[in-house]
């Protein structure tokens, strides 16, 4: 969509996430105490005439002011931050007039993409389990609660027939005919510190359907296939249906993949990743405690 002259975008701004950090379901660590912050905002919310509705209005004013400056000279600003899945329902409430598009993708392909892109092919998801679990639950709940108020698109269908789906987007956004130019895509032009660092290198300036079945390559061991089936079962058919997928079809496709590698390395990678996450959390808490003691000593001096 960034090829449309009426749409401005930047790589994953994350600008809305801090606005909802008062929600206890969103863990926040800060030098000023995240728990204290949530307690204070909770008291403030009770004092506001509209309660949380007034907080959401303030979030709207903040986000709108950023988007207005960013999108100067354009009709729309496209904020494509994947981790908004954690606050999807809040975003629907904050921006009731926004044109929201939810891009669904086969959850097994998402898992494979995370492994390939961020874990160098290892089977470990310490920093992304929140997206695979909490994020997807929140996103499907938001979609179910806001039927008819967003445009759903399946990634697999889009890359197979981009022209027809771009036409759907064009109509949804009420844009002029031929607003999108598939021949002018430059993936590298939208790269930044945030976002997928591999897509532009692999597929360049074209929309490719080659990625639809590429996830098969990442499920070459029995451990990974078992993990994938368990993940699908955890998601359940109800959530998968909201996304437009059938569990039986995904399980059958997974079962057709012939294992070509051992499972021990995958098991070790998964356990090592979780152990690393636990250690990082403890080190973070220890460093915060040590910093507080140092500051207390300085005050005494």
**224 and 268 in contact (C-beta within 8 Å)?**
no
Mean pLDDT for back-to-back runs of 10 residues, the chain (301 residues)? 82 93 78 84 95 96 97 95 96 97 98 94 89 96 97 97 95 93 61 56 66 95 96 98 98 95 86 73 58 50 48
Report pLDDT for 35: 82
d(CA 130, CA 265): 23
Pick the CATH number of 80-300 from 2.40.128, 3.40.50, 3.30.70, 3.30.450: 3.40.50
What is the chain's Cα-based Rg? 22
Report pLDDT for 295: 46
Report pLDDT for 278: 72
Count CA within 13 A, CB hemisphere, residue 199. 19
CA-wise closest residue to 274 among 115, 117, 128: 128
For residue 101, the SS3 value is: strand
d(CA 241, CA 228): 17
Report pLDDT for 152: 98
pTM recorded for the entire structure: 0.85
- Kindly tell me the burial class for residue 206, based on how many C-beta atoms sit within 10 Å of its own C-beta (0-12, 13-18, 19 or more): exposed
Report pLDDT for 298: 47
Report pLDDT for 9: 92
Report pLDDT for 273: 76
Q: What are phi and psi of 26, to 5 degrees?
A: -105, 105
């Amino acid at each position: 969509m960034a090829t449309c002259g009426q749409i401005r975008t930047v790589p994953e701004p994350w600008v809305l996430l801090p606005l909802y950090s008062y929600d206890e379901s969103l863990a926040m660590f800060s030098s000023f105490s995240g728990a204290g912050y949530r307690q204070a905002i909770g008291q403030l919310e009770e004092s506001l005439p509209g309660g949380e509705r007034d907080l959401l209005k303030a979030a709207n004013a903040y986000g709108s002011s950023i988007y207005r400056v960013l999108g100067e000279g354009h009709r729309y600003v496209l904020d494509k931050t994947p981790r908004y899945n954690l606050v999807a329902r809040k975003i629907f409430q904050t921006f009731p007039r926004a044109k929201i598009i939810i891009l669904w993708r086969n959850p097994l392909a998402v898992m494979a993409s995370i492994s390939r892109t961020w874990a160098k092919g290892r089977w470990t998801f310490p920093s992304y389990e929140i997206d695979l679990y909490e994020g997807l639950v929140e996103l499907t709940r938001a979609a179910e609660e806001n039927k008819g108020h967003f445009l759903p698109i399946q990634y697999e269908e889009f890359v197979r027939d981009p022209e027809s789906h771009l036409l759907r987007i064009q109509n949804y956004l009420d844009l002029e005919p031929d607003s999108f130019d598939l021949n002018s895509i430059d993936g590298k032009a939208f790269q930044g510190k945030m976002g997928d660092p591999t897509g532009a290198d692999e597929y360049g300036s074209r929309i490719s359907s080659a990625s639809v079945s590429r996830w098969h390559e990442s499920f070459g061991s029995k451990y990974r296939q078992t993990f994938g089936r368990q993940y699908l079962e955890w998601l359940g058919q109800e959530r998968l249906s909201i996304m437009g997928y059938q569990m039986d079809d995904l399980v059958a496709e997974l079962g057709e993949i012939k294992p070509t590698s051992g499972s021990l390395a995958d098991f070790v990678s998964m356990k090592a990743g979780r152990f690393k996450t636990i250690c990082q959390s403890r080190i973070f808490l220890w460093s915060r405690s040590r910093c507080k003691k140092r500051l207390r000593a300085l005050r005494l001096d």
